[in-house]
Amino acid sequence: MKTIEKAKLDSLFAQLAQNYSLLVPVDYNGLTQFAPYSQVQEGVSQLYLDGNVTVSPKTAYLPQSEAMYKFRAQGKKLAIEEMAGLDKQQVLFGVRHCDTKAIQCLDKVFLDEKFEDPQYKNKREQNIVFSLACNNPKATCFCESMGLDRAHAEASVADVQVYDFGDSFGFEAISDKGKACLDKLTGLGETASKLPDQKPQTLKFDVAGLPEKLKDMFEDPIWDEYSFKCLNCGTCSYICPTCHCFDINNKIRGEVGVKLRTWDSCMFNEYTLMAGGHQPRAGKKERVRNRFLHKLQYFNEKHDMSLCVGCGRCVAKCPVNVDITKFIRQVIG
């Protein structure tokens, strides 16, 4: 395993930044998210490795607001131009395992057999993920309950596995992309140290048979109980690493414009609002139910995997503490 002392992390980043676009987890004025390393260098943001970031790294695959193509009215005609993809490979340093699993979920949606989303695909190909194993789970983390391996990142997504040894980081290539990237790095040490100890997760529960159980619970009174306090804000969807719903808009300035893809949330009124004004999911109950069932049942039925990866963001950030883990535990009984 290649290693580097934490004190020399800057030089590692400098090397990566030379060859790649480099995204690192940062604290930007109180908001933790992935951002260009240059922000850290400029002092705009501080490197944040104490826990997972609030806004998940799905932003590097599905930005909150993304131009799909540009257009220009020329007389009565419209000229359209595709967006250029990432021109350079991009390293995401410090993506947590739950978030690698989340990207795998997104793959199911955006890299479907029938249709591959070109913009997503471009980013997927260009991104090199350094996935950092979590030694100290937060009280809201429950990835293990959702079947994740805290020592090994999702192999189809992560390119380099990173371990935190206290004073140093260790690196193991997972993919060829990752290996090529590691090979380019100089000044790394080499140890065969054993994997670091991982503190146990406190939030643990059994999810066996959950999708099946939920199948019969569409009209269960539990939804009233859980939806009561929901504010119908978009916090959970926007910070969730797997939520991927989007809306398509135009941004027009006179004769030119771009087609924009922006995140949307199933919590919002306009999400299911139909052209004639009909709203099939009129209230909190319908929306909370849809979100939970999509995470825990529908996605399972379609892709044989849960759309909840146990990152715990919504548990931590929901303004009114609508707790999906409590819900699961109550359903499982």
The smaller minimum CB distance to other proteins, of residues 112 and 206, is found at 206
Asked if 125 touches other proteins (CB under 8 A), the answer is no
Backbone angles phi, psi at 318, to 5 degrees: -55, 125
The smaller minimum CB distance to other proteins, of residues 204 and 215, is found at 204
Nearest approach, Cβ of residue 56 and other proteins (Å): 11
Asked if 2 touches other proteins (CB under 8 A), the answer is no
Name the segment binding other proteins (CB under 8 A); options: 10-18, 165-173, 191-199, 231-239: 231-239
Q: Return d(Cα 95, Cα 194) in angstroms, integer.
A: 21
Helix ranges, the chain (H): 9-19, 37-41, 97-110, 118-126, 176-184, 210-215, 222-227, 235-239, 284-293, 299-303, 313-317, 324-332
Give residue 10's identity as a one-letter amino acid code.
D
Nearest approach, Cβ of residue 82 and other proteins (Å): 10
Asked if 28 touches other proteins (CB under 8 A), the answer is yes
Q: Return d(Cα 59, Cα 90) in angstroms, integer.
A: 13
Asked if 79 touches other proteins (CB under 8 A), the answer is yes
Asked if 281 touches other proteins (CB under 8 A), the answer is no
Nearest approach, Cβ of residue 62 and other proteins (Å): 12
For residue 277 the two structure tokens come to 């004004």
Q: Return d(Cα 137, Cα 98) in angstroms, integer.
A: 11
For residue 110 the two structure tokens come to 């955006």
Asked if 323 touches other proteins (CB under 8 A), the answer is yes
The smaller minimum CB distance to other proteins, of residues 82 and 149, is found at 82
Asked if 76 touches other proteins (CB under 8 A), the answer is yes
For residue 302 the two structure tokens come to 């379609």
Asked if 268 touches other proteins (CB under 8 A), the answer is yes
Name the segment binding other proteins (CB under 8 A); options: 8-16, 25-33, 122-130, 179-187: 25-33
Nearest approach, Cβ of residue 185 and other proteins (Å): 32
Q: Return d(Cα 174, Cα 63) in angstroms, integer.
A: 25
Q: Return d(Cα 70, Cα 233) in angstroms, integer.
A: 31
Burial label, 7 (beta-carbon count in 10 A; 0-12, 13-18, 19+): exposed
Among 54, 161, 168, 242, binds other proteins (CB under 8 A): 54
Give the footprint of other proteins on this chain (CB under 8 A).
Answer: 28-31, 54-55, 64-65, 67, 70-76, 79, 81, 139-140, 225, 228-229, 231-235, 237-239, 247, 249, 251, 253-258, 260, 262-265, 268-270, 277, 282-284, 315-317, 319-321, 323, 325-326
